[in-house]
């Protein structure tokens, strides 16, 4: 791919790296299309257990490429609508992938880069990382990323970040819930490995079911419809092969079949 690098190790850990370091991994039409294609490919690969989204070089992602935004400002409304729909579709593929998706964040995460982080299930950042929902500085708004930022930090904080467009540090991002862990830069990969190890202990089918169910749940009253949805879901999943294996492994005091036999491996595929 032109803008991405993909590696999959022997455990089924896919590393999807945005590879435009010369522009701090700002994304354009090509990167958006390739991210969508890569997510489809990794989701369809039965060997892949989880996906790490990262950025090459000094930054995670500086958001939208300014040249792309300039082209958009000069294009028709129909072109802009089709373009925005592609961006929205790409974020949806990340957020609703039936496999865990982790963000590895260093340096800058600006605008759409914050949206990428918020769309991931788990985000780990280095202590020097900086975040900004920066669209208002350019006279636009964080529309497509808005729902993901809103879900990550809550509506009041999301609105504050969008209205001010101010940069916040990693510690504040952690306190808001935008990221889940902050570590020193030289500990970032070790921290990711801890999260990866925890995730690989669990049933991949169960993780897919968790993401599908939780996407349907909202904060608020537990209605009869919600109770029925949860009852139907667990009743179906308990009868599956993965559940039988999980209970059998626990009773036999052995690792379940889905736990990798290797702690690390070599790349299965490259750029």
> Positive or negative, the Cα torsion across 90, 93, 96, 101?
negative
> Which one, of 271, 263, 258, lies nearest residue 48 by Cα?
258
Residue 108 has phi, psi (to 5 degrees) of: -90, 140
CA distance 23 to 230: 45
Helices within the chain (DSSP H only): 29-44, 66-74, 77-95, 112-119, 146-153, 155-164, 170-176, 188-200, 204-214, 224-238, 241-252
Whether 135 is catalytic: yes
Catalytic residue among 34, 128, 135, 193: 135
By annotation, the residues acting in catalysis are: 135
């Amino acid at each position: 791919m032109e803008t991405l690098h993909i590696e999959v190790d022997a455990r089924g850990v896919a590393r999807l790296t945005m590879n435009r370091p010369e522009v701090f991994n700002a994304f354009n039409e090509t990167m958006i299309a390739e991210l969508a294609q890569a997510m489809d490919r990794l989701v369809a690969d039965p060997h892949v257990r989880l996906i790490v989204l990262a950025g090459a070089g000094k930054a995670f992602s500086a958001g939208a490429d300014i040249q792309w935004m300039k082209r958009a400002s000069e294009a028709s409304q129909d072109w802009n609508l089709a373009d925005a729909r592609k961006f929205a579709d790409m974020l949806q593929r990340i957020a609703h992938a039936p496999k865990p998706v982790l963000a590895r964040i260093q340096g800058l995460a600006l605008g759409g880069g914050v949206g990428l982080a918020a769309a991931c299930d788990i985000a780990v950042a280095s202590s020097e990382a900086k975040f900004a929902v920066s669209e208002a500085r350019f006279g636009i708004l964080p529309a497509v990323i808005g729902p993901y930022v809103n879900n990550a930090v809550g509506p009041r904080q999301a609105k504050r970040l969008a209205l001010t467009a101010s940069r916040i540090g990693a510690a504040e991002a952690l306190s808001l819930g935008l990221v889940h862990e902050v570590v020193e830069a030289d500990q970032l990969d070790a921290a990711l490995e801890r999260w990866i190890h925890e995730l690989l202990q669990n049933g991949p089918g169960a993780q897919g079911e968790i993401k599908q169910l939780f996407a349907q749940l909202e904060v608020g009253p537990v209605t009869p419809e919600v109770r029925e949805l949860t009852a139907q879901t667990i009743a179906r999943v308990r009868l599956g092969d993965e559940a039988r294996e999980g209970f059998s492994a626990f009773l036999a005091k052995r690792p379940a079949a889905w736990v990798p036999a290797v702690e690390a491996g070599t790349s299965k595929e490259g750029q």
